[in-house]
């Protein structure tokens, strides 16, 4: 495997909950991210998936330094970003860029496309000296499949898919090594989603990019991710290679998420089991003891309330190398095929 480009360890973001107006008193915390570990290797795409509110955007914001972690570390090429300041920090920030979810609200409506895409050069003029910017921006528009002559147009003159292309061009402006894409296609029509994902895949090869690709649905990240991490209530509960997660999930939460993924083949769909989870996601201010998934897990037992399951290869699979032997935070991890593997559904759609 290629060398690590980002190493995330024990990442935590707690937002304090306070009462009082003059004398604020902390009465608790929103545990938005509560101990996340993962590694992103050079040139790979790591998909991060989970329901609304599980902490995906908070992780993304910490990766690009829009939020400061409460605890934990983010290492970029071995260097702890939290210990950097001044020029060194600026250089790292240049190399980790973000593409945002909503192309309708994330682009300033009063700026032209040229100004939006070229804005990062104001902070990093060394990448594009003033006289060279227009040419560079036009090159970027061309790279993302937009007509370079549109440089003086405004965001409202573009469709949703085109606006997300503008967002991607802006993300590429500083020639970063890592792009953190926070639900980059969730606001787009299904027909446009595939085009934007294909564009991102081809840019990855062209610019040697590594992606953290966030989505709330496992079906969206399937074809772009090399590995996938599943988040629940501020933590990753299962992580592994694409085929390990989709075809050999061992965590009950992943199995439940997969059971809701659309299956195109009607026959395969009939054989797929639906797992309907009981109850709602608990509040991040009041996380259950032990396994945080236990209030919704059909397999929960006493041990689940007492002991936090570590994100590691479960004991039962440690001596049996195979696709089920990947990290899963469950005391009673078991392999369960929820969706028929690709080769059984091939040609059926
Ligand atoms: N600035 C903040 N102050 C307090 N709580 C916050 C703040 N930002 C996020 N949260 C809370 O942290 C939790 C995680 O939020 P986050 O936006 O990271 O989730 P998400 O997985 O990106 O959700 P979605 O799929 O809806 O985008 C949520 O409960 C949210 O309400
Ligand atoms: S540790 Fe227990 S509650 Fe948690 S996922 Fe596994 S079986 Fe369910
Ligand atoms: Mg989000």
Q: Where are the chain's structural domains?
A: 41-64+79-225, 247-345
pLDDT for residue 52 is more than 70: yes
Pick from 252, 205, 208: nearest CA to 232: 252
Ligand 1 pocket, residues with Cβ under 6 angstroms: 15, 30, 32, 50, 52-58, 216, 284
CA 11 to ligand 2 center in whole angstroms: 22
Strand 25-41: give its sheet, edge to edge. 25-41, 4-19, 71-76, 79-80
Pick from 50, 70, 52, 51: nearest CA to 62: 70
Interior/surface letters 327-337, b for 16+ CB within 10 angstroms, e for the rest: bbbbbbbbbbe
Structure tokens at 269: 């769909």
Ligand 2: residue of 331, 335, 336 to mutate (most ligand atoms within 8 A of CB) is 331
* Atom number in ligand 1 closest to CA 216: 25
CA 38 to ligand 1 center in whole angstroms: 20
pLDDT for residue 109 is more than 70: yes
pLDDT for residue 337 is more than 90: no
Q: What is the pLDDT of residue 276?
A: 87
Which is more confident, 270 or 77?
77
**Mean pLDDT within 153-173:** 93
Minimum mean pLDDT among 92-96, 104-108, 135-139: which range? 104-108
Q: What percent of the chain has pLDDT over 70?
A: 97
Minimum mean pLDDT among 56-60, 223-227, 321-325: which range? 321-325
Q: Is 314 in the pocket of ligand 2 (CB under 6 A)?
A: no
Q: What is the pLDDT of residue 266?
A: 80
Which is more confident, 326 or 268?
326
Mean pLDDT of the chain: 91
Structure tokens at 114: 């040229």
Residue 348 binned pLDDT confidence (cut-offs 50, 70, 90): very low
Show the CA angle centred on residue 206, arms to residues 204 and 210, nearest 5°: 30
pLDDT for residue 341 is more than 70: no
CA 4 to ligand 3 center in whole angstroms: 25
pLDDT for residue 349 is more than 50: no
* Atom number in ligand 1 closest to CA 17: 4
CATH of the domain spanning 41-64+79-225, picked from 3.40.50.300, 3.40.50.720, 3.40.1160.10, 3.60.15.10: 3.40.50.300
Max avg pLDDT among 93-97, 101-105, 344-348: 93-97
Minimum mean pLDDT among 88-97, 215-224, 332-341: which range? 332-341
pLDDT for residue 335 is more than 70: yes
Using one digit for the tens of pLDDT, what is the confidence trace for 276-304? 898 899 999 999 999 999 999 999 999 99
Overall pTM > 0.85: yes
Q: Which residues contact 283 (CB under 8 A, 6 or more apart)?
A: none
pLDDT for residue 271 is more than 60: yes
Q: What is the pLDDT of residue 345?
A: 43
Cα–Cα dist 147/265, whole Å = 38
**Mean pLDDT within 39-55:** 96
């Amino acid at each position: 495997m290629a060398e690590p480009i980002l190493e995330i360890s024990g990442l935590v973001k707690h937002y304090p909950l306070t009462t009082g107006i003059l004398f604020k008193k902390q009465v608790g915390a929103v545990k938005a991210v509560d101990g996340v570990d993962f590694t992103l290797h050079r040139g790979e795409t790591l998909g991060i998936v989970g329901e609304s509110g599980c902490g995906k955007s908070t992780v993304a914001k910490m990766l690009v330094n829009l939020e400061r972690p409460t605890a934990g570390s983010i290492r970029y090429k071995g260097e702890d970003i939290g210990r950097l300041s001044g020029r060194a920090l600026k250089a790292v920030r240049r190399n980790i860029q973000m593409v945002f979810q909503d192309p309708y609200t994330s682009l300033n409506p009063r700026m032209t496309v040229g100004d939006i895409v070229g804005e990062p050069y104001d902070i990093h003029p060394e990448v594009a000296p003033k006289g060279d910017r227009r040419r560079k921006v036009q090159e970027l528009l061309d790279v993302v499949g937009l007509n370079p002559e549109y440089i003086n147009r405004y965001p409202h003159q573009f469709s949703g898919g085109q606006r997300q292309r503008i967002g991607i061009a802006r993300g590429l402006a500083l020639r970063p090594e890592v792009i953190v894409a926070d639900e980059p296609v969730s606001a787009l029509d299904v027909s446009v989603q595939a085009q934007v994902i294909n564009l991102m895949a081809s840019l990855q090869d062209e610019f040697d990019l590594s992606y953290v690709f966030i989505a709330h649905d496992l079906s969206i990240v399937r074809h772009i991710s090399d590995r996938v991490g599943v988040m629940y209530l501020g933590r990753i509960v299962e992580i592994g290679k694409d085929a390990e997660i989709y075809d050999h999930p061992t965590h009950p939460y992943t199995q439940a998420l997969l059971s809701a993924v659309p299956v195109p083949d009607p026959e395969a769909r009939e054989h797929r089991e639906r797992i309907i989870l009981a109850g709602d996601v608990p509040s991040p201010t009041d996380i259950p003891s032990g396994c945080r998934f236990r209030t919704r897990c059909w397999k929960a037992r006493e041990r689940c309330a007492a002991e936090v399951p570590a994100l590691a290869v479960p004991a039962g699979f440690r001596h049996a190398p195979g696709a089920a032997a990947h990290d899963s935070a469950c005391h009673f991890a078991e392999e369960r095929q929820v969706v028929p593997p690709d080769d059984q559904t091939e040609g059926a759609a």
